Amino acid sequence: MIRSGDTVKYGEHELQQIKFFNYSENNKKSVIFIHGGAWRDPNNTYDDFQEIIGNILSRDGSRANLIGVNYRLSPQFKHPSHLIDVVTALNTLNVHYSIDNIILVGHSVGATLLLQLLNYKQIIDLGVDKSDPRITTNPPASLNVSLKDLVFVDGIYDIVDLIDEYPGYALFVNEAFNSLQHYKDSSQLSSTVFQQNPLFALAGETPRFTVVQSLQDELLSARQTHGFVKFLDSLGIVPLVFFGNYGLHEQVYKLDQLANILLELLNSTSQ
């Protein structure tokens, strides 16, 4: 029996773990958090969200499962290992713990992974270098969860544009990807593969999109978010968009503003 605070593994690597911050088999809704950290920082884990989870629980959030996902990091593991891990973790939650009806929250490259989920089969296929021994997990055949809401927090959505704005960021991008072509093909905003049919490969209805950007973020300007919102608009998708003074890059996922947004989404998400 799973209890709040327990962790479970979804693969053999030590980072392929899921943490249940709050869980009841009777809960019909779940919020799942995907951390950032430039695909490589071991200091960023599912525990990044302890503070905001405590905030949510203190305000009648116990009716939802609150769960964090870790994934393997670069440079030991290259793209699409991170995406494969997130898909595998979500399927594990669905198959073994009946987790569905999900609000999925991604911060920084966690938001990148959320966007990639929408075309995960194509992006994994384009990114897999079968000669690379670091690709040790077979790509999942399907994603078996119902994503009701996607919440993108101070995210990276177009890596080509990111490096144009911040040339120094090529250092950590090159640690996460095998080639320039791989990171071009990892985003619907930069890959020519998705120009005709950019979204979505998910089954069921299109999820709601919420985009959050702190104007105080010292690592990412609002340029990525403006480009992403423009991209969604070109598809006829109108997201909820929040720009505000929500703290620095590693503060935005801890503060009351994001907790307020998530509680509102929980209240409005159907059973």
Per the residue annotation, which of 108, 186, 190, 214 is the catalytic one? Answer: 108
The structure tokens listed for 217 are: 């973020």
Q: Is 249 a catalytic residue?
A: yes
Per the residue annotation, which of 48, 85, 158, 217 is the catalytic one? Answer: 217
Q: How many residues can be counted in the chain?
A: 271
Q: Is 217 a catalytic residue?
A: yes
- What DSSP letter does each residue of 86-132 carry, written as one string? HHHHHHHHHHHH---SEEEEEETHHHHHHHHHTTHHHHHHHH--TT-
Q: What's the CA dihedral at 214, 218, 219, 221 to 10 degrees?
A: 50
Q: Is 233 a catalytic residue?
A: no
The structure tokens listed for 43 are: 């200091």
The whole-angstrom separation of Cα 70 and Cα 14 is 9
| Nearest one of 117, 258, 104, 252 to 187, comparing CA atoms | 117
Coil, strand or helix at 63:
coil
CB atoms within 10 A of CB 53: 24
The whole-angstrom separation of Cα 165 and Cα 179 is 19
Tokens 């075309």, residue located = 119
Coil, strand or helix at 166:
coil
Pairing of the two strands 147-153 and 102-107: parallel
Show which residues are catalytic: 108, 217, 249
